[in-house]
Chains A and B, each alone.
Chain A
C-alpha cells in the first residue's frame, strides 16, 4: 500500500472513531441525566 493511501485510510478510521466516540459520550451524558436514579442505583456492581 502506498504511504499516501495508508494515511488516508488511517485518517478516515480515526475520524469515524472520534465522531462515534463523541456521539456515544453525548448519548451517555444525556442518558445519565435522564435516567431514573432508582434504576441507576439498582444496576450497580459490587
Chain B
C-alpha cells in the first residue's frame, strides 16, 4: 500500500473517533449541563435570618427554646421549612458555611430520600416531604420505627414539556398511556410526529413516589430509543416555576385545566398532593410537637401559603 494511502486511512479513522467523541461530549454537556444540573437549588437563596433571602417571613409568637429539633425535607419544600425556621427557631441554631448547612445546624438541606432515612435513623427530628415510597415505609418497619405523618399543605403535581412542543394539554388517561408505553408518539396526542421520551426520577424521590401512585397498577415503561425524542417530565408546580425557575419548559394542562394557583386552590386541577410533617412517634423532644402544631396554626399555614404552596384551608 502506498504511504499516502496509509496516512489517509489512519487520518480518516482517527477523525471518525475524534468527531464522534467531541460530538457526544458537546451533546451531553449541553443537554445535561457541565455539572449535570444536580445542584439546581442554591440554599443561600432561602437562608433564614438574612435580609436578602427569597423566603417570605412571618412573625410568630412561638419562639422555640432548649432542645431545638433538626428539620430537613424535600428540596422542593426548602422555602417552606426555611421560613418556618426563620419564624420560630433561635438564629444561633442555624449554621451555614456559605455553601451548605454545617453538621451542628438545626436546619439541614438534603432531599426526600436522605430526609426519610434521617428521620428514621434519628439524625433529623422533623422532615417536610411528600408521602413515602414503599421502600421508605419498609425501611422504617425494618428499623422498628413508627412514623407520624401530619398533612400540612397541598401542592399540584405537574407535567411539563419543552416550550416549543406544540402540545399544551393532556388528559389523565393519555398521561398514564404515555408512561405505560401505550402511546409512544406525540402525533397520537395531537402533537408533532416525534417519539415521546418519558423522563422519570430516581426511586424514592418525592415526585417519583407520587408518579408511581398516579400510575396505579400500571408500570412505567421507558423506551431507550426515544432519548432524542420530545421529552415529558413531572414534578411539583412551585418547584418547577419558582424554585428552579428554568425557562425553556411549559406546564401542561391536565384534562384541560392549567395548574395555576387559582385552579389548585379551587380544586379544579385534578392532581393535587398533600405534603406532610413527618416525625418519629417515639421522639421525646417536646419542641417537635410544638413545631408541628405551629405548622398547622394560622401563622404556620400563612407561611405555607406565602411561600408558594397551598394551605390546608
Asked if residues A31 and B9 are in contact (CB atoms below 8 Å), the reply is no
Residues 22-46 of chain A, each 1 if its beta carbon lies under 8 Å from chain B, else 0? 0011011011101111111111101
A-B pair count, CB < 8 Å, reads 122
Would you call the interface of chain B mostly helix, strand, loop, or mixed? Answer: mixed
Asked if residues B162 and A1 are in contact (CB atoms below 8 Å), the reply is no
In the assembled complex, B144 has its CB within 8 A of some CB on chain A: no
- Closest A residue to B240 by beta carbon equals A38
Q: In the complex, what residues of B have CB within 8 A of residue A6's CB?
A: 1, 6, 10
For chain B, the count of residues having a C-beta within 8 Å of the partner chain is 49
Q: In the complex, what residues of B have CB within 8 A of residue A32's CB?
A: 28, 31-32, 227
Within the assembled complex, what's the spacing in Å between the Cα atoms of A37 and B236?
12
Residue among A9, A27, A38, A39 making CB contact with B28, cutoff 8 Å: A27
Asked if residues A41 and B162 are in contact (CB atoms below 8 Å), the reply is yes
Asked if residues A20 and B17 are in contact (CB atoms below 8 Å), the reply is yes
Asked if residues A1 and B235 are in contact (CB atoms below 8 Å), the reply is no
In the assembled complex, B312 has its CB within 8 A of some CB on chain A: no
Residue among B20, B31, B165, B233 making CB contact with A43, cutoff 8 Å: B31
Residue among A1, A21, A40 making CB contact with B32, cutoff 8 Å: A40
Asked if residues A37 and B235 are in contact (CB atoms below 8 Å), the reply is yes
- Closest A residue to B229 by beta carbon equals A44
Residue among A20, A21, A42 making CB contact with B249, cutoff 8 Å: A42
Residues 208-235 of chain B, each 1 if its beta carbon lies under 8 Å from chain A, else 0? 0000000000000000000100111111
Given contact pairs A6-B6, A41-B233, A35 touches B13 in the complex (Cβ within 8 A): no
Given contact pairs A24-B25, A38-B233, A42-B246, A13 touches B32 in the complex (Cβ within 8 A): no
16 more A-B residue pairs beyond the given contacts A24-B21, A42-B249, with a C-beta to C-beta distance below 8 A: A13-B10, A16-B17, A17-B17, A18-B17, A21-B24, A24-B28, A28-B24, A35-B32, A36-B33, A36-B37, A37-B199, A39-B33, A39-B37, A40-B233, A41-B160, A41-B233
7 CB contacts below 8 A, A to B, read A21-B17, A39-B37, A39-B40, A39-B246, A42-B247, A46-B162, A46-B165
Residues of A in contact with B (beta carbons under 8 Å apart): 1, 3, 6, 9-10, 13-14, 16-18, 20-21, 24-25, 27-28, 30-32, 34-44, 46
